[in-house]
Chains A and B, each alone.
Chain A
Amino acid sequence: MGVCVVSQIPAVEGKSVQQTVEMITKKLEILGAVKQGTFCVDCETYHAAPIVNNSGQQGKLMYVMHNTEYPASCFALFENGPCLVADTNFDTLMIKLKGFFQNAKSNKIESRGQRYQFSDFLVKVGTVTMGPSARGISVEVEYCPSIVSNDCWNLMMEFMQSFMGSHTPGIPSVFTAKHDGIYTPTDTVIQYMELFNKIRKQQQAPVSGMR
């Protein structure tokens, strides 16, 4: 487990999402990264029932996420709220809690793709799909040997620049939010959640970069 940066790359002008992904992976392979299977991060959205929401906040959403990097775990989190890490049995628990949390089936979003290893770095380039259509490209870069996020940031940024070019993201908010700077798996999941939310919003408002 190391420090992860999750970012989005817009599709190259005039090319489909799939083609852009291929371009990036080709770049990585030329760089010397080794393909190591696939990965998948999925996110399901639950609407909290009015009983839970007695505080009057409308439409608070809970996200239940899985990450193949953590195959035994299930993450449940609110936006800006607490994050729960549980066994995969948590999914069956959610079925039992139907009365309190309703699954918004149509909002299921996931990112699938290849997993590459480049020495100490793990790069996961995935296609974000919502339903049948591809919505965007996610790139996760992990620097395995360290868990102190701020110490690795510059190194990671340099590495990302080598294959992402101008699309290299800025420092993620989770890096700065923490006092001790110790990176945990939940931070990765939060980053993915933010990414997915961004992509959902992009879909609602027409985005030019997607064409």
Chain B
Amino acid sequence: MLRGRPKALNRRVGARAWGRGGVGVREGREVGGRPKARSKRRVLIPALKEAREEARRRDRGMEFQTVGSERLKARPPMIGRVGQETWSRPEPTERRERAAMVKFQPSLWPWDTVRNNLRSTLTEMCVLYDVLNVLKEKKYMTLDPVSQEPPPSKQVLQLCGKKKSLAGAAQILLKGADRLSKSVAENQEHKRQRDFNSELLRLRQHWKLRKVGDKLLGDLSYRSAGSLFPHHGTFEVIKNTDIDPDKKIPDDYCPLDVVIPSDLEGSAYIKVSIQKQAPDIGDLGTVNLLRRPTQKPKPGTAHWQTKLEAAQSVLLCKEIFAQLSREAVQIKSQIPHIVVKNQIISQPFPGLQLSISLCHFVNDKKSQKVSVENQRPDDHLYVLEHNLHQLMREFHKQTLSSSMMPHPATAPFGLKRMRVVGPQAYDKGEISALQHNEGLLEKIIKQAKHIFLRRRTAWTIDSLASRIEDPQIQAHWSNINDVYESSVKVLITSQGYEQICKSIQLQLIIGVEQIKVVHRDGRVITLSHQEQELQDFLLSQMSQHQVHAVQQLAKVMGWHLLSFSSHVGLGPVESIGNASAITVASPNGEYSISVRNGPESGCKVVVQFPRSQCKDLPKSDVMQDSKWNHLRGPFKEVLWSKMEGRNFVYKMELLMAALAPCP
């Protein structure tokens, strides 16, 4: 500090002070002014004192100087005692003494060492400056690098250092990665949480949910749709978020899961089948559990959706079966319905049994085993199974609509249609028809009867058509049927003569218990469910068709109809229906053909020749005259099976052509 101070103070005086050599530093301190005069004056201070005072008064500049010096005096004591001593304007006596000391003991000046050091430094600096100048010139002296041995390599040290720094970096990276993964996991957790909520929202769109305590319970029953089934049908919604984040998340992972009641697990279906013969009573109740392939969930639907839907369908199947078995016990029928375990057996027709069974299997190995053992041909009546479901829904709707609000204050409860019963004055019959409510079982049995009757009718017609080639049977089934009624149009034709032989057209209306046959001419015949009746009827119609065909053909060929009878009272008695017969005469009346066709005895064709052509006729004594030759002669049977031609009508045509004379 002491050293630095003078430097700062001397900045102005600078080299001048140094250059003057022995001149005191004190002189340099005087700012501005006339240094020479000062030095003189210093010596003559006492003498000049008065003059100076005068001059001060006179000269403003002097005054200024005084002010400046005083300002200097007021400086903080940084300068220390030395400064104070040096710069303070001493008392006249003191000044005098000191002046004497400076004069006589210059070496004792306190800044002497500083000055000396500065001088030596200056010298050295000057030398350095010179050397540098010389070096810069590069004429006399140059600097050459001195080859030195490289310092011993510190590879181990370096390695250690590197290792340490790398470890540091790695630690930082690891820390960052850790933090990142943590945040990612947290994100996922949040996402999962969010997913649960969104899934819950989706669930709520399709299912009824309610909160009970800290549980979320849902309702998969059909109660809100009008079901009266007592099963509560409750499922629980659980959160499935606590899976191990380290493990791979399965593809079908869903943060929401549902717990369904154990009795609704697995899958179930109602099986309806019709069997011909009654099985052994011991077999009852062991319904074959045909295992259906588990349905793959549709892409895009949630896991819980399929689960709930399956449970719901199980519930519906159970409800249907419960309803059916209740009705089966209640309904009095001629042959009581049997309810054994999961099977309801009813006899719609003698020798025929309708079985409705509830097949419910839970996904475990045991049931699978059973199903393999009992594998039987698939004899489902899918239509009836579907209809059962539909009927159940209808039943639901009915119960729902009967209690539906708003309800007129004066109207009676019950069916909506019953409200008009009073004002419209329905009579007893109409009201009882309104109130009559068929149960599920009755309806399904009726449908089953109809289906069976329809199938058997089709089978009968088909077997007849395949067995009998001539005439042909065509059956045209209507595509749109009622559940209790369907119709078929049966045409009996001969091949190649469809246009002229169209006499037999039958409309068969197949009902529940019987078949109604409507003829082309409007006659109605009612047949029972026995297939033999239909078969016999069709056979008799076919035999009649042949005779009708001959009649039609005769018209076309120009032959004359002599007699026609669709129910001949002569000849052998047929076991089925009656034989029919026709007689036609050739255009010129020479020949006549008589055909008798019975459903059982088949056809018999005889030709009557003119008398003149018969050579073996015994000469009659009565008919001597030649005119009697024009009388018809005896009948001769045609060996019909040996006739040429592919069918009856064709043969007949050939026969007629042969007998008619060429024009």
Query: Given the complex of chains A and B, what is the CA–CA distance between A185 and B427 in angstroms?
Result: 9
A65-93 to B contact mask, C-beta < 8 Å, 1/0: 00011111111000000000111110000
CB-contacts of B405-428 with A (<8 A): 410-412, 418, 421-428
B425/A85 in contact, CB under 8 A: yes
Query: Given the complex of chains A and B, what is the CA–CA distance between A57 and B551 in angstroms?
Result: 81
B425/A185 in contact, CB under 8 A: yes
Closest A residue to B410 by beta carbon equals A89
Interface flag for A114 (CB, 8 Å): no
Residues of A within 8 A of B425 (CB): 70, 73, 75, 85, 184-186
B410/A70 in contact, CB under 8 A: no
Residues of A within 8 A of B427 (CB): 1, 69-70, 185
Residues of B within 8 A of A75 (CB): 425
Interface flag for B225 (CB, 8 Å): no
CB-contacts of A155-199 with B (<8 A): 184-186
B426/A70 in contact, CB under 8 A: yes
B428/A85 in contact, CB under 8 A: no
* Residue total for B at the interface (Cβ-Cβ under 8 A): 15
Known contacts A1-B430, A71-B431, A72-B431; is A85 also within 8 Å of B412 by CB? Answer: no
Chain B facing A: main interface SS: loop
Query: Given the complex of chains A and B, what is the CA–CA distance between A89 and B431 in angstroms?
Result: 17
Residues of B within 8 A of A86 (CB): 422-423
Query: Given the complex of chains A and B, what is the CA–CA distance between A70 and B425 in angstroms?
Result: 6
Closest B residue to A84 by beta carbon equals B423
Closest A residue to B411 by beta carbon equals A87
CB distance from B80 to the nearest CB of A (A): 129
A120-164 to B contact mask, C-beta < 8 Å, 1/0: 000000000000000000000000000000000000000000000
Query: Given the complex of chains A and B, what is the CA–CA distance between A59 and B63 in angstroms?
Result: 151
CB-contacts of A84-130 with B (<8 A): 85-89
Closest A residue to B425 by beta carbon equals A185
Residues of A within 8 A of B428 (CB): 68-71
Residues of B within 8 A of A72 (CB): 418, 421-422, 426, 431
Residues of B within 8 A of A73 (CB): 421-426
Closest A residue to B430 by beta carbon equals A1
Closest B residue to A37 by beta carbon equals B428
CB distance from B410 to the nearest CB of A (A): 5
Query: Given the complex of chains A and B, what is the CA–CA distance between A75 and B422 in angstroms?
Result: 10
Known contacts A71-B431, A72-B431; is A87 also within 8 Å of B423 by CB? Answer: yes
CB distance from B408 to the nearest CB of A (A): 10
Query: Given the complex of chains A and B, what is the CA–CA distance between A18 and B137 in angstroms?
Result: 171
Residues of A within 8 A of B410 (CB): 87, 89
Query: Given the complex of chains A and B, what is the CA–CA distance between A186 and B424 in angstroms?
Result: 10
Query: Given the complex of chains A and B, what is the CA–CA distance between A1 and B424 in angstroms?
Result: 12
Query: Given the complex of chains A and B, what is the CA–CA distance between A186 and B423 in angstroms?
Result: 11
A87/B412 in contact, CB under 8 A: yes
Identify the B interface with A (CB < 8 A): 410-412, 418, 421-431
Between-chain CB contacts (< 8 Å), 7 pairs: A1-B430, A71-B431, A72-B418, A72-B426, A72-B431, A85-B422, A86-B423
Q: Given A1-B429, A70-B427, list of 16 further CB < 8 A pairs?
A: A68-B428, A69-B428, A70-B425, A70-B426, A71-B428, A71-B431, A72-B418, A72-B421, A72-B422, A73-B421, A73-B424, A73-B426, A87-B411, A89-B410, A184-B425, A186-B425
Please provide the 4 A-B residue pairs with the shortest distance between their CB atoms, ordered closest to farther.
Answer: A87-B422, A185-B425, A72-B421, A72-B422
